[in-house]
Chain A
C-alpha cells in the first residue's frame, strides 16, 4: 500500500521521467534500524547517474553518511521490497531499502 501511494505521488510530481533518463535516475532510499540512527533519517530521495548499481548508490550514501560504513558488511539490501545484490542497476523510482539486523529482544 505504502509503496503504491509513494509511486503514485512520485508519478504526479514527475510526469516525464524519461527526460532524465540520459543523465540521472531518482530513487528513494529507505533506512531501517541502525541505519536510521546513523543517518537520522527514515528515508531520502537519491539522484544517481543512469546505469548506477545498488553498489554505486551505497557508495554515494556512505560518502554522505560516513557512519554507514559500520553496517556496510552486515545488512540486507532490498530493491522494491525484493532481495537484491549490489550489482543490480537501479531504475527511476526504485525503492532501495537498507536493512541491518536488530539483535534486541
Chain B
C-alpha cells in the first residue's frame, strides 16, 4: 500500500513538472505571437506611436484605437464603463507597472494588474515561496513551494492573461539596480515589507519622477497612499526620520491576518490602474487607514510636499549618483533583506544546545525549563513541562521560578550537594539570552539558555516539532 502511494506521488510530481513546463512554453509563445500581432496591426496606421496617442477619440471606425477583436472581447466590461471605456483601456494597454515584492500585498496587486491588461508588468522579488506564506500570498500555489516567488507569480499572471508582457526581475532591489529597473516602468507599486526598502523605493521614484503606489499591512491594520504624484509628497516628506528598529515590526514576528494585506494590495492595484489609465482621482496627498477589526476605513489628508525634504524639497539636490551611494541599511538601522536577529549576549558556559538539553531530559536530570515567549506563542506549541513566563513579566514572577526549582529538587530528591538546573528557552534564542542575563543579575547564576530556541529543537532534536 505504502509503496503504491509513493509510486503515485512520484508520478504525480513528474507529471506536474512537465505540465508547468508546457504551460510556460505556451505562454511564452502566446506572448511572442501577441507582440508580432501588435506590430502588424500598427503598420497600416503609420508609426506605433501616433496611433497609440490618447488624443484620437475623435476618429471613427475600428481603427480609432488599436484594440484587437480579442482585446475588445477580453476587456468588454471595462469598455462598457462610461467613465473608463476605450480610452482608459487603451492607456492601460500602453502602460507599464512595476510591482516590488510578490508577497502579501503584491499577490492580489499582480493578479489584478495582469487581469486588467496593463501592457507590461514587472515583478521584483528575490525570495522563495514558503508554506507559511500561503495564508496570505494568494498568487502562489503549493506546487511552487521552494521555488522563486518571481517565477511563481509570473506563471500565475501569465495563466490569467497571456497577452500581458510579464517581466521577471529575480533579484533583490538595491541602489545598484533600482534606477535601471524603475526607469523601464511608468508606475511603481511598493509591496515590500521593510523600512529601508520603502525609503529606497521612494527616493528612486523621486529621482526618476515616477508615481509610487505605496501600501503596507501588519496585524489587523493597513495603510495606503500615492507618493510623488502631481506635486504631492514623497515618503521622506512624511517620515524624514526613520522609525527606530523596535518600531519596525515584521509579519514574521508580529503576525498578520492574511486578508488584510490582500485588501490593501487590491487597493494598490486600483490606484495603479487609475494612474496608468488616467482616470479618477488617485490617492495622492491623502492616506487611507484600514482597521480590519473595527471594520473602519479612514482617509486622512496628509501634508503636501515638504520644502525641507532631503529627497524632493526645494533645495534638494538628490541626484542619481547620490541615490546609488546612499546607505539605506545604515540610515534605517535595519537590513534590506530582513533575516531573524541573532544575538550573542552570553558566555559559552551559560548556554547549551538543544541536543544537550535533550540528553539531560532523557537522563532525568533535575531541572526547570522556563519558556519566555508571549503567552499566545506558548499556546501554539511548547515543550513538555515548561513553565511559561513571558519576558516582560519575568521580574514580577521570579518567585515562581524559585518555587519551581524547590519543588523539582524535592521531587527528584536532589542531595544538598547539587541543585536543580535552570534552563530558559524562546522561539529563536534571543529573548532567552536576555532572560538569562537578567536571571544572572538577580541571583539565578546557574541559569542557561538553549541555543537557537525551539527552532533548533525542531531542527536538531525533533523534526516533527512544529515551527511557525
Q: Which positions in A face B, CB cutoff 8 Å?
A: 2, 32-34, 36-37, 42, 70-71, 73-74, 76, 78, 81-83, 97, 99-105
Q: Is the CB of A104 within 8 A of B247?
A: no
Interface residue? B312 (CB, 8 A): no
Interface residues of B in 238-292 (CB under 8 A from A): 238-239, 241-244, 246-251, 254, 256, 261, 287, 289, 291
Tally of B interface residues using CB under 8 Å: 45
Residues of B within 8 A of A82 (CB): 300-301
CB atoms of B221 and A83 under 8 A apart: no
Known contacts A70-B247, A83-B301; decide if A103 and B287 are in contact (CB<8 Å). Answer: no
Given contacts A33-B218, A76-B302, contact A101 B223 (CB under 8 A): yes
Residues in A neighbouring B216, C-beta threshold 8 A: 101-105
Query: Is A102 touching B298 in the complex (CB atoms < 8 A)?
Result: no
User: Which residues on the A side are within 8 Å of B302 (C-beta)?
Assistant: 76, 78, 83
In contact, B101 and A105 (Cβ under 8 angstroms): yes
Is residue B379 within 8 Å, beta carbon to beta carbon, of the partner chain?
no
Residue B303 lies at the interface, judged by CB distance under 8 Å to chain A? yes
Known contacts A74-B243, A105-B192, A105-B251; 12 further A-B pairs (Cβ under 8 A):
A2-B296, A32-B291, A74-B241, A76-B238, A76-B239, A81-B299, A81-B300, A101-B223, A102-B216, A103-B193, A103-B216, A105-B103
Q: Which residue of A lies closest to B216 (CB)?
A: A102
Using CB atoms, name the residue of chain B closest to A34: B247
User: A104 and B241 in contact (CB under 8 A), knowing A32-B289, A81-B298?
Assistant: no
Measured in the bound complex, the distance between the Cα atoms of B218 and A32 in whole Å is 11
B213 within 8 A of A: no
Over the window 221-248 of chain B, the binary record of Cβ atoms lying under 8 Å from chain A Cβ atoms (1 yes, 0 no) is 1110000000000000011011110111
Q: Chain B residues with Cβ under 8 A from A2's Cβ?
A: 296, 298
Residues in chain A near residue B303, CB distance under 8 A: 76, 83
Most chain B CB within a 10 A radius of its CB, from A32, A33, A70, A71: A33
Q: Is B59 an interface residue (CB 8 A)?
A: no
Minimum distance in angstroms from A33 CB to a CB of chain B: 6
Determine the chain B residues whose CB is within 8 A of the CB of A83 once the complex forms: 300-303
**B contact residues around A101 at 8 Å (CB):** 195, 198, 216, 223, 238-239, 243
Q: Is the CB of B300 within 8 A of A76?
A: yes
User: For B195, what are the chain A residues with a Cβ–Cβ distance below 8 Å?
Assistant: 101, 103
Tell me the complex Cα distance, A104–B101, Å: 11
Quick one: which of B104, B215, B216, B294 has the most chain A CB within 10 A? B216
CA distance A94 to B74 in the complex (A): 50
Q: Which A residues are CB-close (under 8 A) to B320?
A: none
Question: Of residues A33, A71, A102, which shows the largest number of chain B Cβ atoms within 10 Å of its Cβ?
Answer: A102
Chain A CB within 8 A of B98 CB: no
| Distance (whole angstroms) from the CB of A36 to the closest CB of chain B | 8
Report the Cα distance A101→B242, complex, angstroms.
9
Q: Which residues of B contact A71 (CB under 8 A)?
A: 243-244, 247
Q: Are B238 and A104 in contact (CB under 8 A)?
A: no
Selected contact of A102 from candidates B222, B244, B296, B299, CB within 8 Å: B222
Point out the residues of chain A lying under 8 angstroms from B241, CB to CB: 73-74
Asked if B97 is an interface residue, CB under 8 A from chain A, the answer is no
**Contact (Cβ within 8 A) A76 B217:** no
Could you say which residues of chain B place their CB within 8 Å of the CB of A73?
Answer: 241
Known contacts: A32-B221, A42-B294, A100-B243. The answer to whether A78 contacts B191 by CB under 8 A is no
1/0 per residue, CB under 8 A from A, across B292-312: the answer is 001010111111000000000
A78 to B217, CA, bound (A): 20
Q: Which residues of A contact B183 (CB under 8 A)?
A: none
Max chain A CB contacts within 10 Å: which of B193, B218, B296? Answer: B218
Chain B hits for A81, CB < 8 A: 298-301
Q: Is B105 an interface residue (CB 8 A)?
A: yes
Residues of B within 8 A of A37 (CB): 249
